[in-house]
A and B are shown apart, each in its own frame.
Chain A
Amino acid sequence: MRNSVKPSGRWLLHMIVFLSCCFSATVFSQETETSPEAGTTSVGATAANADNEATSQPEFDVLVKELTQGSLPARAQTAKKLAAFEDERVANVINALQQGTLYATKDENPLVAIVDEAGIYTDAINGEKITGGTEEFKRVPINNSMRSQLRTLLAQLNLTHKDASIRLDAVNRMIADGVDEDSISLLKNLQKAESDNGVRSAIESAVALFNLHSDDQQLRLGAIQVLKDSLQQEVRTALSNVAANDADEKVKHQAQLAIKAIDSSIAKYRFAENIFFGLSLGSVLLLSAIGLSITFGVMGVINMAHGELMMIGAYVTWVVQQIFPNQIAYSLAIAIPAAFIVAGLVGIAIERGVIRFLYGRPLETLLATFGISLILQQAARSIFSPLNRAVELPVWMSGSLQINPVLSITYNRLYILIFGLLVFFALLVILKKTTLGLKVRAVSQNRAMARAVGVRATWVDAMTFGLGSGIAGIAGVALSQLTNVGPNLGQAYIIDSFMVVVFGGVGNLWGTLVGAMGLGIINKFLEPYAGAVLAKVLVLVLLILFIQKRPKGIFPQKGRAAAD
């Protein structure tokens, strides 16, 4: 668990790291400024812990050892004392004792160990692995009354933890385990002192959950009012229990209303989740389609090897991680520009070597580039083996942003969504504001005239194709963060990307954006009803029907240029 920063703060930190990586190529100095900052937080935290340990070392040792010896009541007292310690290890030890995984030797000065599921013994005091003589260890015995006392202690320990998110976890776990008399009184005591709003409302839910079973009708009604905003599964179960079995009709009715309210807000969040998944899929489609949109839309070249250029980008990420295995967190900062350059160069080679001989013959271009895609795929198979390679996810990209019990957003998808939009707007700026962009647009509109005013059309062709291919490479980097890298990576996306371009309207970047997001969302909304495969089939059918209505996509090119 890495819950050391509050969600919002953590998110910000991630943003900073992420942005710095995105812009590393251009603003490298900025990146070096931020990263040590990000580093110091964790270094500082460990240092603080070390201080703590130094002072409490002897006492903790003694108490843990005492815990394994003597009469049960005496040990119960020791446990209480131990719980008062501010030490990370305390929770582990008490937890192990309660679970029956705390083992000790029968010596004067016993060794105490925690045994995990795999049967590995770890010293409870210094955290080292114990390899030899494990048969000497015996389980530390406890009885029922001590077990419940320990549970309370453990909960208390976490409930009074200085980190609000751990306190919140503890309360939620209590809700999940079921609340009893003891824990409620404990919670009620804590409620007054609680400073964090989230924790306080969680405690309120816990209390209300308990009150649901009280004999007082008013108390039950009040509890329902409190609970109707909760999204936790246990709350819904408890409420539906009340709605079905409560003796009082009014309570029953209120409970039903509350369930309805909960269901509707769950539906709302599910909807939001679907939108997010749709946008996430859309961002992947966007990344793979914008490169295509340039080569296909601006240059009129069908590049069937586009998917393989993405594959190259993904392999570049993998190779970068192999070269710098200890710098996973920053590997993307190298991989993105590297993938852009490698894929871009391959693209330029394809353009110079094959495509330029085929301008004006789109069907032949399609076939030739398909041949290239076969060669590239087979080359990847020969060089990297046909097996899939797993690209490691940097720590700052793993995990998820838990918004509430129903809705959580994984960081990698979120970043890729943002990244896709960044690339999109960067490209938009390149095409609108730079000379290269101006030349590209000029050549795409009227090749002969552009050449007449001194634009080197062949150079522009190569550069445009390189740009489109480079973006495919970047898309490959993003994809490698979502799926495994393999020779067939590109194929899975190529048809979808073409669909996006056709759907959005050729030669229109905004159309590509809307097309990608639209197709992504439609796909994700169809999936729950039709299943993933059928959803894909349905989308294809819908697209074919859509073309009936709008043969040139959402944003068709109009005017003279559009005619033939």
Chain B
Amino acid sequence: MLTQRLLLSDRGGMIVLGLVLATMILVPICNLLVPETSALHISTFTVTLLGKFLCYALLALSVDLIWGYCGILSLGHGAFFALGGYAMGMYLMRQIGPRGQYGDPILPDFMVFLNWKELPWYWQGFDMFWFALLMIIVVPGILAFVFGWLAFRSRVTGVYFSIITQALTYALLLAFFRNEMGFGGNNGLTDFKDILGFPIAASGTRISLFLASGFMLILAYIACRYIVTSRMGKVIVSIRDAETRTRFCGYKVESYKLWLFVFSAILAGIAGALYVPQVGIINPGEFSPLNSIELVVWVATGGRGTLFGAIVGAFTVNYGKTVFTSYSPETWLFALGALFVIVTLVLPKGLVGLFNRTKKAASKQNPGNPPPGNPAPATAPSVTPNMGTSTENFISAETPVIAAVKEPV
């Protein structure tokens, strides 16, 4: 029953997850087993690129959950991504040990360079992998909790919230640029050697990281699906569409927003943590407001309000970016800017909406009978004014009739 609710009723999601799974099977084979001379061989570089895309997809999923379903547009989700990344980066830094340029067994190179004598307190414990994992979840989670608590309780909504989140990531950007913060300043954390004892640049490690990203994406997708198909999911959509009504129905809107925001931030943090070992660097640039707003566009391009749309968007836009920037870097910003405008003006439901529209036009199917048991995720109100009154069924309260209607599942 649960699989029915989570996956089977979600055809787009099934297709997208199927594709992800297929890549997860094919890519390792093509990289490790197919000889390099073969046309089917996939280079480790491509594996890393695909792994990056999977992390981006996870990040996009986290944004879609709060924006597409709850209407909270966070322009600071890059901050949570970066914080998760930094937590992982700190672990990787500690793993370098005495192999750094200065050969200090404890201190990372940049601290030796800054003439620091001992490890700052917040770097303690990051030599242990489990602790780093914990921090990957806790740090973005706590920041999101504190920030969200402050923002939601004072009913900061809509564009105000967006701007304040942008300010948040901007503030973190400025702060992390400072050498005194102890996160490597401008250069960030890099020169990683190995992760859990495996050399970080080896194909095997890269494949493992790629697979881990894929599994995490699938897991997160199912978790998000669970949320949006539960009653909580309906409450969240209600908050998006009529916040006051939801409140007057007895729901504590602030709490719902807060927990969803925290969950989303944790997902973003995990995405960042998976991203860093694959690209081999984390620096303050990840906090830049442009990054955060760009990832919103991935979601918008794919189609917000459908979870798989976010994944589609992340892959499409980033593939486009890879192609564009290798072809001519200047045109990329033009293309990105145009994408922002086009998506908002012409494609409010993104590629998924476009696909649905063409499909609908092709089949001309009457959407009058909604499939039972499928609480159609967040379709925007179709404005078909039906002013005809239907009073035939008006039965007064004195005669309650138990109608033999099918109960929705």
A: residues with CB less than 8 A from B are 302, 354, 357-358, 362-368, 370-375, 377-379, 381-382, 495, 498-499, 502, 533-534, 536-537, 540-541, 543-545, 547-548, 551, 564
Asked if A375 and B337 sit within 8 Å, CB to CB, the answer is yes
Bound-state Cα–Cα, A382 to B153, Å: 45
Asked if B155 and A551 sit within 8 Å, CB to CB, the answer is yes
Q: Within 8 Å CB of A564, what residues of B?
A: 244
In the complex, B339 has a CB within 8 A of chain A: yes
Main secondary structure of the interface of A (DSSP, over half): helix
Q: A358-B344, A366-B159 in contact; A375/B334 too (CB < 8 A)?
A: yes
Partner of A540, one of B151, B159, B168, B341: B168
Asked if B178 and A364 sit within 8 Å, CB to CB, the answer is no
Tell me the smallest distance from the CB of B217 to a CB of chain A, in Å: 24
In the complex, B30 has a CB within 8 A of chain A: no
Asked if B344 and A377 sit within 8 Å, CB to CB, the answer is no
Q: Within 8 Å CB of A537, what residues of B?
A: 171, 174-175
Asked if A375 and B338 sit within 8 Å, CB to CB, the answer is yes
In the complex, B324 has a CB within 8 A of chain A: no
Bound-state Cα–Cα, A544 to B297, Å: 26
Q: Within 8 Å CB of A544, what residues of B?
A: 147, 150-151, 164, 167-168
Partner of B345, one of A357, A373, A379: A357
Asked if A533 and B334 sit within 8 Å, CB to CB, the answer is no
Partner of B330, one of A354, A365, A378, A499: A378
Residue of B nearest to A354 (CB): B341
Partner of B154, one of A382, A495, A533, A551: A551
Partner of B348, one of A364, A495, A548: A364
Tell me the smallest distance from the CB of A133 to a CB of chain B, in Å: 54
Asked if A545 and B333 sit within 8 Å, CB to CB, the answer is no
Other than A374-B334, A499-B167, A548-B150, give 12 A-B pairs with Cβ distance below 8 A. A358-B344, A367-B297, A367-B300, A371-B336, A371-B337, A371-B341, A373-B337, A375-B338, A533-B174, A544-B168, A548-B153, A548-B154
Tell me the smallest distance from the CB of B250 to a CB of chain A, in Å: 19
In the complex, B158 has a CB within 8 A of chain A: yes
Asked if B345 and A533 sit within 8 Å, CB to CB, the answer is no
1/0 contact trace for B46-82 toward A, CB 8 Å?
0000000000000000000000000101000000000
Residue of B nearest to A532 (CB): B174
Asked if B289 and A495 sit within 8 Å, CB to CB, the answer is yes
Asked if B163 and A502 sit within 8 Å, CB to CB, the answer is yes
Q: Within 8 Å CB of B45, what residues of A?
A: none
19 A-B contacts (beta carbon < 8 Å): A354-B341, A358-B344, A362-B159, A365-B344, A366-B162, A367-B296, A367-B300, A368-B341, A371-B337, A372-B341, A381-B330, A495-B163, A499-B167, A533-B175, A537-B175, A540-B167, A540-B170, A547-B151, A564-B244
Tell me the smallest distance from the CB of B177 to a CB of chain A, in Å: 7
In the complex, B340 has a CB within 8 A of chain A: yes
Interface residues on B, range: 35 or more
Bound-state Cα–Cα, A368 to B338, Å: 9
Partner of A371, one of B163, B164, B166, B340: B340
Q: Within 8 Å CB of A498, what residues of B?
A: 163, 166-167
Residue of A nearest to B348 (CB): A364
Asked if B330 and A382 sit within 8 Å, CB to CB, the answer is yes
Q: Within 8 Å CB of A543, what residues of B?
A: 167
Q: A375-B334, A375-B338 in contact; A367/B171 too (CB < 8 A)?
A: no
Q: Within 8 Å CB of A372, what residues of B?
A: 337, 340-341
Tell me the smallest distance from the CB of A26 to a CB of chain B, in Å: 36
Bound-state Cα–Cα, A169 to B348, Å: 69
1/0 contact trace for B321-346 toward A, CB 8 Å?
00000000010011011111101110
Those of B329-371 within 8 Å (CB) of chain A: 330, 333-334, 336-341, 343-345, 348
Bound-state Cα–Cα, A236 to B167, Å: 44
Asked if B175 and A358 sit within 8 Å, CB to CB, the answer is no
Q: A364-B344, A367-B344 in contact; A374/B150 too (CB < 8 A)?
A: no
Asked if A495 and B338 sit within 8 Å, CB to CB, the answer is no
Bound-state Cα–Cα, A220 to B319, Å: 82
Q: A362-B159, A537-B175 in contact; A378/B337 too (CB < 8 A)?
A: yes
Bound-state Cα–Cα, A537 to B168, Å: 9
Q: Within 8 Å CB of B171, what residues of A?
A: 536-537, 540-541
Residue of B nearest to A365 (CB): B344
Asked if A362 and B150 sit within 8 Å, CB to CB, the answer is no
In the complex, B156 has a CB within 8 A of chain A: yes
Bound-state Cα–Cα, A499 to B167, Å: 8
Q: Within 8 Å CB of B333, what residues of A?
A: 374-375, 377-378
Residue of B nearest to A363 (CB): B73
Asked if A370 and B177 sit within 8 Å, CB to CB, the answer is no
Bound-state Cα–Cα, A364 to B164, Å: 17
Asked if B175 and A534 sit within 8 Å, CB to CB, the answer is yes
